[in-house]
Amino acid sequence: ESRDSGNYRFIYGFLNAELWSDIPAEHYFEREYPIAIKYAREHNVAFIASIGYKPDELRLLGPKCEKAGVDAIEFSTHYIGQDYRPVIEAAKALRESVNIPIFAKLSPFTPNIPELIRELEKVGVDGIVATNTIGPALHIDVETGKPVVGGPNGHGWLSGPALKPLAIAIVAEIAKNTRLPIIGVGGISRGVDVIEYFMVGASAVQVCTAALVEGPVVYTRLVKEVEDWLKKHGYDSILDIRGYALKYLKPEPLRTYALPPIVDIKKCIGCGLCEQVCNYDAVHVVEENGARKAVVNIENCYGCGLCTSICPTRAIHFPE
């Protein structure tokens, strides 16, 4: 899903139907993995395979991944029911089949996370990945009346920025209930997204949708943005902020207050989106020296943050 606004396009999420592949598994083991593993070794990074979904499939694919030389295996079940036993059975099947580390990838609506995590620890899972894409989701082509993707019942699975708040909440809950490493996944497109995942307990992150939109250069950009943020805030390592936010996550509600946003004139392009969405008549675009710029009326501002969310250039933002 996306929305056009002038020269800017906002990507809210992608739908995928990845329950099958046109490419046989052997192609990956014989061609793709050797190339990728060689590259990973040359650059001193781990290569983690991702497989699924059922116990018999994991018993078949797991040993082949290990034989190919991968460093670890992430397994997904795409399970969304109310009984988490299928996840445990999948974990047992893979754990009994390989000796390398295995990571359980959970779905957004996984039930009873604390209990599930304890069971996964008993099985011998080495880490948790959270979260998988969200679904089932449905998108209809209104010109034909047919579903856009080809999953059962036209269903697909949603990834991208829309998933991030759900994933952040789940990573935080997992972090409160285990000392296993957590890989955060879902909606990462900026360096501050990475920071947010680490603050709720992640030890690493995965990025896919943003890479599909922007290409491989997204990883270089994200690393630089993270490094710049850490330097600006006086941290030597990203590990210094891991779990930082957990102490503020209390069961009782917390009254919060927002300061009026400020506008970075150098970034503002005068598109008028902030003025368009403001319900409090607090933001207006005015002509200054021949250029259109946004101005905030502090008296009217409620601090809702909608303008900061919609700004395509991040020109309007809350003060730190």
Catalytic machinery residues:
65
Q: What is 182-222 written as a DSSP string?
A: EEEES---SHHHHHHHHHTT-SEEE--HHHHHH-THHHHHH
Helix (H, G, I), strand (E, B) or coil at 293: strand
The dihedral sign for the CA sequence 146, 150, 155, 158? negative
Distance CA 73, CA 104 (A): 9
Amino acid at 136: P
d(CA 283, CA 138): 36
Helices marked H in the chain: 25-27, 33-42, 55-68, 85-95, 113-123, 164-175, 191-199, 209-214, 217-232, 273-277, 306-310
204 dihedral zone (left: phi>0; alpha: psi -120 to 50; beta)? beta
Alpha carbon separation from 142 to 5, 115, 145, 151, 155 (Å, rounded): 21, 43, 5, 18, 16
Q: How far apart are CA 275 and CA 307, in angstroms?
A: 8
